[in-house]
Structure 1
Amino acid sequence: MKLYYSPGACSLAAHIILNEINVDFDLEKVNLKTHTTEKGSDYYQINPKGYVPALEINPGLILTEMVAILPFLAQHDPHQDLIPPSGLGRAKVLEWLGYLNSELHDAYAVFFGKPLTDEEKSRAYQEIDRLLNYIDQAIANSDTEYLVGDNFGPADAYLFVLTNWSPLIKHELNPYKHIIELRNKVAVRQSVQIAMRDEGLIS
């Protein structure tokens, strides 16, 4: 398999899960401004949508979209810990991935488009805080170790990556102590440390 990624982008979550399932894979960095890969390929020829991640499963067979890639990878976990194979447990993972992708990801993404006015920034921060407050309360009201059950999974990786963007946009995470506790558990995983080093995010 090959993961097309951009350092620190949402593709980092897929990179983390690839490390978790301990398979051989290649990485190819994408410049999202020029839409070329580090090997000089036109990224639009690989993924016409133009954004990361794209997962090449076999030559010419490409999977895109976080809500598809993360469960696909997680189901290859040899220990069957990352995602339940069926039933309500799997549905809850997909529920979280859908929420993170359609709501929280989009809320952060506003800051990475055109420059925002002060008023637009204020509204965008309020939206991120509204979503994070929901997530923080959901964690607080849960008796499980992670977002779904007591095992780390793709939703935890995705939340970790998205909330990594808060410092980039000068957003304060400190009010969300339950999210921070979850982030701290995720951050020390070997799969996360390796992925972040490979992407040049930590030394």
Structure 2
Amino acid sequence: MKLYYSPGACSLAAHILLNEINVDFDLERVDLKTHQTEKGADYYEINPKGYVPALEINPGLILTENVAVLPFIAQHDPKQDLIPPSGLGRAKVLEWLGYLNSELHDEYAVFFNPQVSEEEKERGYVTIDKMLKYIDDYLGESEFDYLVNDRFGPADAYLFVLTNWSNVIQHDLTPFKNIVALRNLVAERQSVQIAMRDEGLIP
């Protein structure tokens, strides 16, 4: 498999999960401004949508969108720890991925528009805080350390990556103690440390 990625983008979640399942895979960096890959390919020819992640499963067979890519990678975990194979547990993973992808991701994305106004930023902070409070309250009431059960999975990786963007947009996560605790758990994983080093995000 090959993962097309941009450092620190939402493709980092797929990078983390690929490390978790311990398979051989290739990485190819994408410049999201020029839409050229590090090998000089036109990224639009690989993924006409133009954004990451794109997972090349076999030559010419491309899977996109985190709500599809992350479960696909997780189901290849030989220990079967990353995602329940069926039933309510799997549905809950997909529920969280849907929320993170369509709601929280979109609100953070507002800040990466170079033409965003100060007024739009202020509204964005309020909306992000509202969404994070929902997640934080959920975690506070849950008997588990992770979003779905007592095991790390795709939704945890995705939440970790999205909330990393708080550092970029000068957004304070400290009021969300349960999210911070989850982030600390995730950050300790070898798969995360390797992915972040490979993408140049940490030394």
| TM-score normalised according to structure 2 size | 0.99
What residue number does 1:7 align with? Answer: 7
Measured in 1, the distance between the counterparts of 2:116 and 2:3 equals: 32
Structure 2 matches for 1:67-86, cutoff 5 A? 67-86=67-86
How far did 1:116 drift?
A: 2.1
- 2:166 aligns with 166
User: Is 1:128 the equivalent of 2:128?
Assistant: yes
Letter of the structure 2 residue corresponding to residue 132 of structure 1 = L
Identical columns (%): 77
**Alpha-carbon deviation of 1:114?**
3.4
Q: Could you tell me which residue of structure 2 aligns to residue 91 of structure 1?
A: 91
Aligned partner of residue 146 in structure 1, secondary structure: coil
Secondary structure of the 1:161 match is: helix
C-alpha distance after superposition, 1:125-173 (max 9, x if no partner): 1010010000000100100121010000000000000000001001110
Amino acid at match of 2:159: L
- State how 1:31-42 maps to structure 2 within 5 Å: 31-42=31-42
1:108 is matched with which residue?
Answer: 108
- 1:150 matched to 2:150? The reply is yes
The TM-score with structure 1 as length reference comes to 0.99
Secondary structure of residue in 2 paired with 1:96: helix
1:15-50 deviation per Cα after TM superposition (whole angstroms, max 9, x unaligned): 000000000000000000000000000000000000
Distance in 1 of aligned mates of 2:120 and 2:78: 46
Residues 69-125 of structure 1: CA deviation (Å, up to 9, x unaligned): 000000000000000000000000000000000000000000001322221111011
SS state of the match for residue 139, structure 2?
A: helix
Supply the distance in 1 between the matched residues of 2:34 and 2:73 (Cα, whole angstroms): 28
Partner of 2:59: 59
User: Secondary structure of 2:62's match?
Assistant: strand
1:188 aligns to what? Answer: 188
Distance 1:56 1:113 in 2: 28
Rounded to whole Å, the distance in 2 between the matches of 1:8 and 1:118 is 24
The residue type paired with residue 84 of structure 2 is P
Q: How many residue pairs get matched?
A: 203
Which residue does the alignment assign to 1:141?
Answer: 141
| Structure 1 Cα separation of the partners of residues 65 and 114 of structure 2 | 23
Code of the aligned partner of 1:146: Y
RMSD: 0.5
Alpha-carbon separation, structure 1, partners of 2:145 and 2:165 = 23
Structure 2 residues not aligned, in runs of 5+:
none
* Aligned amino acid, residue 98 of structure 1: G
